[in-house]
Amino acid sequence: AGGLYGSVNPSGSYVFAFPTNTESERDLVMKFVDTIPDGSWVWAFTVLQDSMQDYHPELWAADSINLGRNIFSVLEAQGAEQVRQLENLGSVPYTFVFRKGMGKLAEDIAPDQQSTIYTEVFIPVKSSSGTIATRPIGPASAWQQLSWLGINADSTDADTLDVYGLDATKTDTTLLFGDVGTPVLDLSGVDADQYPYLLLRYKLDDPDERTAADLDYWQVTYAPLPEMALDASVYFEFYRDTIQQGDTLRVAAMVENISPRDFDSVLVSLRITDRYNGVTTQTWRQGPLAAGARDTVRFSLPTSGLTAGPNQLVVEVNPNDDQPELFHGNNFGLKDFYVRADDQNPVLDVFFDGVRILDGDLVSATPEIRIELDDENTFFLLDDTALIKLSIVDPSGVERRYYFDNPAVVFEPAQDTMNMAKVTLRPTLPEDGVYALRVDVQDKAGNAPRLRYKIHFKVVHEQMISRVVPYPNPFSTRVRFAYTLTGSEAPDVFKIQIMTLSGQVVREITQDEIGPLRIGRHLTDYAWDGRDEYGDLLANGVYLYRLIVKDGDGRAIKHYKTSADPYFAKSFGKLVIMR
């Protein structure tokens, strides 16, 4: 059986379905719209049971020829704006919500038959009771007073207030005052630490007329929380975006109290996250921050403990709400930076009595061994004795470690201006023979030379001296003299006589001219220029020379044999001048 107004649904329903296949069926749709009382809420929508059906919107416009109007124009008269698109889109989902004679509330159309549309409209209804609630009020440092006024529509209306307390998370709600009927309520007894927020709910009841009372006003007074902000736009200082490992990271930013209430102090947190999500934290507390005042947050942090590579720094004031404040989102500062790794080895240099020796060289029985360790990174100072290990292996193969509490070892730590540590080792070497010095070093970043330092040296306690060998020979402008000296001290008399082949002494070079003598193999700093005792240049040719050397008692010092001995005859050597 058909429904009301020519619809196909059973009588008595609030939903009226009409087919639109023929002109007469579409005429019933338009006549039904005419019968709807003005002000009524109407929801018009299309329905198809399957994709094979069609409600023929392409035919609607032609109804104006015989009927003087069509479904498009009737719905457009109520405010529809998209309905005429159906003429091209075909039988797709379509909804139109309106109040008769008062305009459109919502309208949606699908692009194709398989799409889904959602239409949502708020429709007020008259109820016998209802509520109006505030958003959370606060946060507060102290609650003061509630005042409110409701205006009754008639004598049957009833209205009261409920007051709820909310915790800091706004999730735990507790009824503090129920059915408040007085226009003023003292809130000073509410603990703001426990309930930093309040929520008001206005309750209305009118079972007879269903006419709501009107709320004239409601007001809550309270002392607000203080509020601080980290404002990098006012002042921000960052040492370097790329910083050498070991250098000190320095950051400064401005924190401002933007509220009328004071902070008794300011807790500051520094958090650095490396590329592997490792976290380094530092916290400290600054002094009070008065209302409207500004202060500078400054900190420094050595990067020696940070991971090389990209890092991210976060500065946070008042972390974890150390002191309750209004808003926390403006308490952060973020900065990315890069830590450049220290991956260069330190440089090691070793001197025996002031000179670098070759492996196997002869040295004094009481040498002064100086070790210098130099590193390019001036932020990782070489100031720790643990960075250097020393040992000497004696001729019998026994290795002795020299620790820094030994009086024979003196450690000089690196200074700020130059990252060089120095160690002076004065060992006592009682035996003749070949020793070995071993030195293991590293810098504070753990870098070490690729090869372990080890050098052999020879000790002879008896005082002896080798033949003196001129270098170069022949020479043209200058010649120096090489010798090897054993023992622990220099001879008292040391001089070189230059003679003609007939034995005439033409030049005598004394120890005062030659300068200090050294134990071991040595090439004199002094260079003879080929002039005689009177300062005249000697002629080209072959000359003889000999060494005269004696101890403090005037006794000749023993000869130390070397590979140069075959070139001497009865302690005389030959020297050639070629200009």
Query: pLDDT for 11-50, tens place per residue?
Result: 556 789 999 999 999 999 999 999 999 999 999 999 988 8
What letter represents residue 117's amino acid? I
E strand or H helix that includes residue 86: helix 86-89
User: Residue 2 above 80 pLDDT?
Assistant: no
What whole-number distance in Å separates Cα of residue 452 and Cα of residue 445? Answer: 17
Torsion sign over Cα 138, 143, 145, 146: positive
pLDDT score recorded for residue 289: 94
Give the CA diameter of the chain.
158
Task: Report yes or no: 396 and 491 within 8 Å, Cβ to Cβ.
Answer: no
Per-residue model confidence as pLDDT tens digits over 159-178: 889 999 999 889 889 999 99
- Calpha distance 294→10 (Å, rounded): 76
Instruction: Check residue 397 and give left, alpha or beta (phi > 0: left; psi -120 to 50: alpha).
Output: left
pLDDT score, position 180: 93
Partners of 459 in the β-ladder? 363, 433
- Over residues 201-256, the pLDDT tens digits come to 998 888 777 777 788 899 999 998 899 999 888 899 999 999 999 999 999 999 99
> Can you give the pLDDT at residue 12?
57
Mean pLDDT over all residues of the chain? 92
**Token pair for residue 203?**
């309750």
pLDDT at 327: 87
pLDDT at 11: 57
For 429-439, what is the mean pLDDT? 95
Q: How far apart are CA 465 and CA 513, in angstroms?
A: 19
Burial class (CB in 10 A: 0-12, 13-18, 19+), 40: exposed
What residue has token string 């403006």? 330
Sheet harboring 399-402: ordered strands across? Answer: 361-363, 453-459, 433-441, 388-393, 399-402
Given this model, what pLDDT does residue 553 score?
86
Q: Which helix (H) or strand (E) holds 361?
A: strand 361-363
| Omega before residue 57 within 30° of 0, cis | no
Nearest alpha-carbon partner for 421 in 389, 385, 451, 447:
385
Lowest-pLDDT range of 67-71, 231-235, 510-514? 231-235
Indicate whether 317 pLDDT > 90: yes
SS3 30: helix
pLDDT given at position 9: 78
- What pLDDT does residue 10 have? 65
Task: Answer whether residue 305 shows pLDDT above 90.
Answer: no
Terminus-to-terminus CA distance in the chain, angstroms?
141
Give the C-alpha separation, 421 to 372, whole Å: 6
Report whether pLDDT(152) > 90: no
Beta bridge partners, 499, equal 505, 544
DSSP-assigned letter for residue 67: H
Q: Given this model, what pLDDT does residue 153 score?
A: 59
155: confidence class by pLDDT, cuts 50, 70, 90: low
Beta strand 173-180 with 158-166 is antiparallel
Distance CA 56, CA 560 (A): 126
Which one, of 415, 253, 256, lies nearest residue 334 by Cα?
253
177 with 166: CB under 8 angstroms? no
> H-helix or E-strand containing 352?
strand 347-352
Q: Looking at residue 5, what is its pLDDT?
A: 83
Q: What element of type H or E holds 142?
A: strand 140-151
Hey, is 28 helix, strand or coil?
helix
Q: What's the rounded mean pLDDT across residues 308-320?
A: 94
- Nearest alpha-carbon partner for 423 in 434, 433, 411, 440: 411
Specify which residues 135 forms β-bridges with. Answer: none
Q: What is the full DSSP assignment across 295-342?
A: EEEEEEEEGGGSPSEEEEEEEEESGGGSS--S--TTSEEEEEEEEEP-
Among candidate residues 503, 534, 521, 420, the one with its CA nearest the CA of residue 467: 521
Tell me, what's the pLDDT at 25? Answer: 94
- pLDDT for the residue 207: 78
Contact 266, 295 (CB under 8 A): yes
Mean pLDDT, range 419-432, rounded to an integer: 95
Residue 224 contacts by C-beta under 8 Å, 6 or more apart in sequence? 139, 140, 141, 259, 260, 261, 326
Burial level of 49, CB count in 10 A (0-12/13-18/19+)?
exposed
